Amino acid sequence: MAQTNSKGLFVVGTGTDVGKTYITGLSVKALRTGDYNAGYYKAAVSGAPSIAASDAGYVKKVAQLEAPDDTLLSYLYDHAVSPHLAAKWEGNPVEQSVITAGFEAAKERYEYVTMEGSGGIMCPLRYDETEQIFLEDVIQWFRLPTLLVAHAGLGTINATVLTVEYLRARNIPVKGVILNYYTDSPMEQDNKAMIETLTGVPVIACVPEGANDLGVSAASLAALYDEV
């Protein structure tokens, strides 16, 4: 049955390998455990042999989603490079119409749709003589707020503040920050405090490596989503 008041949130990372997919899986899992009709969609994944072995497959497993694999992801590339380059090499460029159809289908299935990005905010999904599409374009198409995932360690102040400022300059809301690989060291405690002070964005969770949950209530997570 189609959802009449679907809500969405876009999960973006400060860069590659900050654990964005891991955090996304735990977020969707938390919502579903809290009896929210929550699901997942991602436009493009590169460097995976199948959907089941991709980021989308990981989230499906962690969050125990029952959706068919082909509803979770629109573009799957073999080469472990930026999607725009993989698309050039493999002759399968991203199309706005395909992503829009995938997102709309997720909205029909779920009340809370978590859309995961690829890499950092400047990741190009398509860049050729015909069209140029970046992550920020996808966020703007669907008017989604964002949740920012960052590594808790050294360098995160710079990466997080720059990403927040970039999003704000484009009028994209940032609802919160999650620090991943958190060890609670004095430096990481200071990183958290400085990120909140310099951006005014709350760090809603500090997640240790290997954690099975975010330590955030389902209701608190649900409050981050906007109607779309």
Look up tokens 């430096």; give the residue: 187
How many CA atoms lie less than 13 Å away from 7 in the CB half-sphere? Answer: 14
Distance from the Cα of residue 89 to its chain's centroid: 25
Which are the catalytic amino acids? 42
Whole-angstrom Cα distance, residue 169 to residue 41? 25
Cα(171)–Cα(155) distance, integer angstroms: 25
What is the Cα–Cα distance from 187 to 185, expressed in whole angstroms?
5
Q: Comparing C-alpha atoms, which of 180, 171, 118 is closest to residue 149? A: 180
Q: Are strands 124-127 and 132-134 parallel, antiparallel or unpaired?
A: antiparallel
